[in-house]
Amino acid sequence: NCTANTGGPHCERCGEGYYGDPIKGSCQPCPCPFPGRNFALSCHVAPHRITCRCREGYTGQFCDSCSYGWFGYPKRPGGFCRPCKCNRHGSVSDECDEETGQCNCKPGIASRDCSECTGRTVLTDRGCSCESVYGV
């Protein structure tokens, strides 16, 4: 039941995403990327230097970009990063377009996450097949 943005068993440190002096009750939001919207687990603020430790899915000096395998617009108001969740059978890799989330699909595969075959086929662990469509 800690208050003033503090955390820990005895409220002896600033809570996740905050920095400052918990004893004085001066824990403030990390400016990663902005104080009102931060994606940091923790940060260290010193004169002329801010070091952010980013949450999962975020990267960059101020946690203002999405990590590999994540996409979104964290720099925009209300923006955040989401996992790509590319289909492992239909995509070339776990990477997707950093803004749209479009995965890199194998030939004959479509959809944002590469989970749909083009034409009258279905995606199996071996790729697109007409087995399930035609009952073969």
As assigned by CATH, the class of the 84-134 domain is: mainly beta
Would you place residue 131 in the very low, low, confident or very high pLDDT band (cuts 50, 70, 90)? low
Read off the pTM.
Answer: 0.79
When the pLDDT of each residue in the chain is averaged and rounded to a whole number, the result is 90
Specify the domain boundaries for CATH 2.10.25.10 within the chain.
Answer: 84-134
pLDDT at 123: 83
Beta strands in the chain (DSSP E): 6-7, 13-14, 18-19, 28-29, 33-34, 37-38, 40-46, 49-54, 58-59, 65-66, 70-72, 81-83, 91-96, 103-105, 109-110, 116-117, 122-124, 127-129
pLDDT at 10: 93
Q: Are 114 and 87 in contact (CB under 8 A)?
A: yes
